[in-house]
Amino acid sequence: MDALVAAGEVAGGNLPPELALQRVVEIAIELLRAEQGSIMLVDGSGRRLHLAAASGLPPSVPRDATVAVGEGVAGRVMATGRGLLLGDVDEHDFVNLVPKTRRISASLVVPLRSRGRAIGVLNLARARGSFPADALAVAQVFADQAGGLIERARLRQRAEERSAGAAALARAGRALLGILDTDRLLRLALDGAIELLGAEAGFACVLDGDGSPATGTFRGLSPETVSALAARAASSRGEDAVRSDVCDNGHLSYGIFHTGGGRAGVVAVVTASPPDPARLELLAAFTGHCGAALGAAELHAALAAKHGEVAAIIRAVPNPIVVADGDARLVALNPAAELAFGVSAAFAAGRPAAGTLGHEGVERLLQGALDDTEVIAGAPLRLYRARAAQIRLAAPQRPGRVVILDDVTAERETARLQNDFVSVVSHELRTPLTSIKGFARLLVQRGDALSPEQRMEAHAAIDSKAAELERLIEDILHLSGIESGTSPLVVEDVDVAAVVGDAVEQGQRRHPGRAVRVEAPAELRWPCDAVKVATILRHLIDNALAYSSAPEEVVVRVRAGDELRIDVVDRGIGILSEDIPTIFERFRQLEGAHNRTRGGMGLGLYLCRQLAALHGGTLRADSAWGKGSTFTVTLPRSVPVAPPPGANATRA
């Protein structure tokens, strides 16, 4: 009874299983006064007995000794379930675990049973003397109790191992949660697999279509070994999810996982001994976690890429875009909207649209009160057509609103310019036509009654107004050609003095009695379009004469060097400095529309600058109020074949 109590205390204690079995053997030897003893336990196959613990055996006995069930005394006892007591053992007939390095006079072998099933055998031996007659019964009683205790201890150990494995699986699985970086996930997958199987080497990788590692991590193995083992694992992708094979480095245990994106991967470890089947089950579960985590990482990467593409597109869109949720709180603004409303997207996120943007119309669009409107925003101010549409941001949230603003400033400006153009052109064309029509009717109705001088005056007026009308039409045609890009240069070697002289003569005919002084070299030729240069000079000389008074003269000064420079100088009323940047705009005149005493369409200076730009040159003004103005044209010697980029868009 003392021996049974001692064995129970050992089995119920916290000793490791190997030490507990060793202590049971020692108690059995002490109980039956044996000199040698051992416990052999049957393996999972039920075909072989393995030495689990021993005491008193010589050092030559291997600690991994085995015997087949049915062979030898221990094997026969295991097979029959009946103990044997052998006295005066013949060394030639005795077939058992213990080598015959010394004589064994008696041997006692009984089965270890648990719940009526043999789980192993207890071997006891004496070198001298024999066991008592009741030794077999005593040994069997002890073995039956010890077998149950051993089995319970093994079950407790297995439960503890499973609990520890489950805890390790939970830790490894938790480590994967929320990780969306593939490389980090693979490192954590390898850490978890190594902990689950108690390994020191292994690898985790995602496979290419040909089975080679696309990306991964490894530890304790060479890259060549990893490639070979990965290829080996990849070859079994269609088989069991987890396998264990013998490899050059030991025992390779690996799990195959599949991500949601259809890619396969491997989590593998190398151990010195075959892994416990229970641990392989844990590896299988963990492999599933790895596949799910990597699938989530792939999905996140794909979504991030799509989000980045959409964000890049939205950032690149020049139209201001504003997004609000179902509660009319701002969600996002693109850079164009930040500039238009002077609000930072980071600052505005989550704030109510009302009062944040500073534009009631846009705020009402975001609140759903309007579907479209026009707003003025930005610096400088621009006119926008704002349109709103519903969008679903995230269920079950109410639909949000997106507002897109189209810049219609240029469109409205173009419409205004077109209206101004029609108004100005109709007015400017009607003026000479009215004069031509009046004098023509006078000649038709009363021509015979007029004196020769009166008829000559009427003819001169008709000729003058027709010439003025022709110039207006030429200017309109020049402007149309420039705007459409169909006004090519006809470059010739031009006599500059002759072109200047003709322009001066025309100006003096339109402004009789005015003096124009020309300072130009007598012999100067320059490559340019004579018609277009003449148009420039005609407008500049006309303006100089119109905005100055006699007896002040207008000076046209011509100089040549690397470029041709023509200055038209007057001593007239001049131009205010703040007006100079605007005088080259279309339809721009310094006089108001109600006081157009000098007439004109307001296209002259704009047309002159465009014609100079066609030559690759410039037109600029230098003026002081009350002191006169100087307009300077410069033309390069090398004329561009086509208009320079932006020439048609040169608008102040």
Final residue belonging to a domain, choices 160, 192, 211: 160
Query: Does 165 fall in a domain?
Result: no
* Spatial separation of the C-alpha atoms in residues 172 and 269, rounded to whole Å: 15
186 plus 324 within the same structural domain: no
Strand order across the beta sheet in which 321-324 lies = 330-333, 321-324, 400-407, 382-391, 372-377
CA 137 to CA 118: how far, in whole Å?
A: 16
Same domain, 620 and 504: yes
Question: 634 or 412, which is more confident?
Answer: 634
Mean local confidence (pLDDT), 113-118: 84
Q: List the one residue out of 491, 476, 473, 475 whose CA is nearest residue 614.
A: 491
CATH of the domain at 198: 3.30.450.40
- What is the C-alpha separation between 514 and 541, in angstroms, rounded? 11
Residue 594 has pLDDT above 50, yes or no: no
Determine, yes or no, domain membership for 310. Answer: no
Specify the pLDDT at position 565. 95
Asked if pLDDT for residue 390 goes beyond 50, the answer is yes
Residue 582 to residues 64, 331, 578, Cα–Cα distance (Å): 104, 41, 8
Token pair listed for 187: 């490192």
| DSSP helix/strand/coil, 8 | helix
Same domain, yes or no, for 373 and 441?
A: no
Cis status of the peptide bond prior to 521, with omega within 30 of 0: no
The answer to whether residue 169 is domain-embedded is: no
54-63, 91-100, 597-606 — which one is most confidently predicted on average? 54-63
Residues 138 and 203 in one domain: no
Task: Decide if 172 is inside a domain.
Answer: no
Could you tell me the residue range of the domain that residue 380 belongs to? Answer: 317-407
Domain boundary among 434, 466, 481: 481
264 or 87, greater pLDDT: 264
Predicted confidence (pLDDT) at residue 611 exceeds the cutoff of 70: yes
Cβ(607)–Cβ(566) below 8 Å: no
Q: Which two tokens stand for residue 112?
A: 């270890």
Sign of CA dihedral 446, 447, 452, 456: positive
For helices 135-176 and 2-12, give the axis angle rounded to 10 degrees.
10
pLDDT, tens digit, 9 for 90 and up, residues 259-296: 877 788 889 999 988 888 888 888 888 888 888 888 88
Q: Which two tokens stand for residue 315?
A: 């950032």
More confident residue, 444 or 486: 444
CATH code, 634: 3.30.565.10
| Residue 569 contacts residue 555 (beta carbons within 8 Å) | yes
Whether 49 is covered by a domain: the verdict is yes
pLDDT at position 7 is 61
Which residue type is seen at 416? R
The whole-chain average pLDDT of the chain stands at 81
Question: 362 and 277 in one domain?
Answer: no
Shared domain for 128 and 26, answered yes or no, is yes
pTM, entire model = 0.48
* Together in a domain, 251 and 333: no
Q: How far is CA 36 from CA 57, 82, 97, 535, in A?
A: 6, 20, 11, 129
CATH number of the domain bearing residue 362: 3.30.450.20
* pLDDT of the residue at 22: 83
| Same domain as 456, residue 427 | yes
* Same domain as 380, residue 401: yes
pLDDT for res 93: 45
Distances in whole angstroms, Cα of residue 426 to Cα of each of 419, 420, 538, 599, 600: 11, 10, 22, 12, 11
| Dist CA 611 CA 633 (whole Å) | 10
Do 127 and 38 sit in the same domain of this protein? yes
Model confidence pLDDT, tens digit, residues 290-303? 888 888 888 888 88
Nearest alpha carbon to residue 183 among 263, 104, 298: 298
pLDDT number for residue 317: 83
Residues 504 and 634 in one domain: yes
Per-residue pLDDT band at 237 (split at 50, 70, 90)? low
Q: Tell me, what amino acid is at 195?
A: E
Structure tokens at 206: 């995602």
Decide which of 481, 503, 523 is a domain's last residue.
Answer: 481
Distance CA 368, CA 346 (A): 23
How many angstroms separate the CA atoms of 119 and 78, rounded? 8
- Whether residue 538 is contained in a domain is answered as yes
In a domain, 170, yes or no: no
CATH code, domain with 455:
1.10.287.130
Helix/strand/coil percent split, the chain, to 5? 45, 25, 30
> Sign of torsion, CA 374 376 378 381?
positive
Span 298-312, average pLDDT: 82
524 and 587, same domain (yes or no): yes
Taken in order 461, 463, 467, 470, the sign of the CA dihedral is positive
Q: In the prediction, which pLDDT does 500 show? A: 94
Percent of the chain with pLDDT over 70: 86
| In-domain check, residue 309 | no
Could you give the number of structural domains in the chain? Answer: 5
Share of the chain above pLDDT 90, in %: 16
In the numeric block, the tokens 């071997």 are attached to: 123
Mean pLDDT across 335-348: 83
